[in-house]
A and B are shown apart, each in its own frame.
Chain A
Amino acid sequence: MLKRTPLYQTHAASGAKLVDFGGWEMPLNYGSQIEEHQAVRRDAGMFDVSHMCPVDLEGEDARPFLRTLVANSVDKLTQSGKALYSCMLNQAGGVIDDLIIYFLREDWFRVVVNASTADKDLAWMEKVRLDGGHRVTITPRRDLAMIAVQGPNARARFWQVRPAARAATERLGAFFAAEAGDLFVARTGYTGEDGFEVMVPAAQAAQLWQDLKAAGVAEAGLGARDTLRLEAGMNLYGNDMDETVSPLDAGLAWTVDLKSPRDFVGRAALEQQLANAGSRKAFVGLKLLDKGVLRSHQKVITPHGEGEITSGTFAPTLGFSVAMARVPREVKIGDTVEVDIRGKRMPVQVVKMPFVRNGKPLV
């Protein structure tokens, strides 16, 4: 039996194509995935991301617990509302999950974890808590639904339908969150556009969705969410990294903090990898120079050896196909290499990510 979010009936009534996504029955699209993608790039679209799980960490040891739990440094979080993206690693330095941490108060942090990894994540957090004797409670918030409203006009549309939330959220900088009545509003997202991710009590979710829809916000499914995040150069857990992959080989070195002396889970393994550069891989963007579509698991052929595409798609904003790939570290930006597409070798250019940001093509 697939799990359903509080917005399931709303999606079904809108004629969404519903699919199994990590054990959840979620909308893939509501008609045209490409139109939904363009709505987010040019105007405003919304996604039901209630399958992801907010988890509250409360208690006097919330910060010390996070210092041990994640690879980025929570000590970067000094201002209330500030968010931080990080990986949670195992002892071998593999990625258990990637998550966003919101700092609310010294005794209250909220993290958001992926849907398909939520149970595993909670068990891991509990283990790390016990091992360190941290005085912190770990509470999954399945009572909250989550709607991501994204696009250049997303914030304006949100304020139009929830004017009472405007004062508390108008001055939010990028990667900041605030409470606004029953809502928890974060200026974060997974599309490369401006917008909010709004946590709302489950019982109010359908009304918020309907109000946004009436205000002209396009319903968008997980299909568009994937092409948007790929264009924005954002990793997808399970595709671009997993428990067997180091964040250093997934383009996520910027999220790993080795400057502070704290000992987080996986640190020793990462330091060993850094000392042994020969084992490392480069994580790069690819641009297909011919027609066709790059897909995950296709082989990348380079003069320095083979690599593999971790995520690939047709990029609606660009009109050609792009991909993320793990390749030998000698491969450099600007190189032309090849990808094996169903037995045919096609030329691709190695490019810097993101491919698109704030509606503008960058490659």
Chain B
Amino acid sequence: MKFPDDLKYTPTHEWAKVGADGLLWVGITDAAQDMLGDLVFVGDVKVGQALKAGETAGVVESVKAASDIYAPVDGEVVAFNDALDGEPQKLNSEPYGAWIFKMKTTASLAGLLDAKSYEASVAAEK
């Protein structure tokens, strides 16, 4: 299970990082894809909507279950990664290589977890 150091994390298994475009890129973690199993659908992403931290931004579905994905911080959802539409299994093979949505935000990321604390919270869930 991978927990890259250059990312921030939420207890609900999203990762986030500020990309080269200055936007906040958000995806699901390795632990999340492992728990969900083979992913078959990513969508319902609320592009154009202003969300508070913790509000539902979209959904990922595996053969097993549907799982909401949440905004890590306050901000506006400005993009959905259409490439995942046809290939949701990319989230299984490269969870950190595929962002699901991008947010425009001025919020601080200081409240998010670093790799070590997130890894600890995953271990505690087991």
A29–B38 alpha-carbon span in the complex (Å)? 10
Find out whether the CB atom of A223 lies under 8 angstroms from the CB atom of B63. Answer: yes
Tell yes or no: B44 within 8 A of A by CB.
yes
Question: Interface residues of B: mostly helix, strand, loop or mixed?
Answer: mixed
A65–B40 alpha-carbon span in the complex (Å)? 47
Question: Interface residues of A: mostly helix, strand, loop or mixed?
Answer: mixed
From B43, B64, B66, A291 is in contact (CB under 8 Å) with B43
User: Which of A223, A314, A342 has the most chain B CB atoms closer than 10 A to its own CB?
Assistant: A314
B85-122 interface bits toward A, Cβ cutoff 8 Å, 1 = contact, 0 = none? 10001001000000000000000000000000000000
B interface residues, how many (CB within 8 angstroms): 14
A95–B40 alpha-carbon span in the complex (Å)? 33
Inter-chain contacts of A28 with B (CB < 8 A): 37, 64
Tell yes or no: A293 within 8 A of B by CB.
yes
Inter-chain contacts of B40 with A (CB < 8 A): 34, 293, 314, 321
User: Which of B37, B63, B89, B92 has the most chain A CB atoms closer than 10 A to its own CB?
Assistant: B63
Inter-chain contacts of A29 with B (CB < 8 A): 37
Inter-chain contacts of A293 with B (CB < 8 A): 40-41, 61, 66
Tell yes or no: A313 within 8 A of B by CB.
yes
Find out whether the CB atom of A314 lies under 8 angstroms from the CB atom of B41. Answer: yes
From B64, B66, B85, A33 is in contact (CB under 8 Å) with B64
A295–B64 alpha-carbon span in the complex (Å)? 9
Show 14 residue pairs from A and B whose CB-CB distance is below 8 angstroms, ordered by the A residue: A17-B37, A32-B37, A33-B38, A33-B63, A34-B38, A34-B40, A34-B63, A223-B63, A227-B63, A291-B41, A291-B85, A313-B63, A314-B41, A342-B44
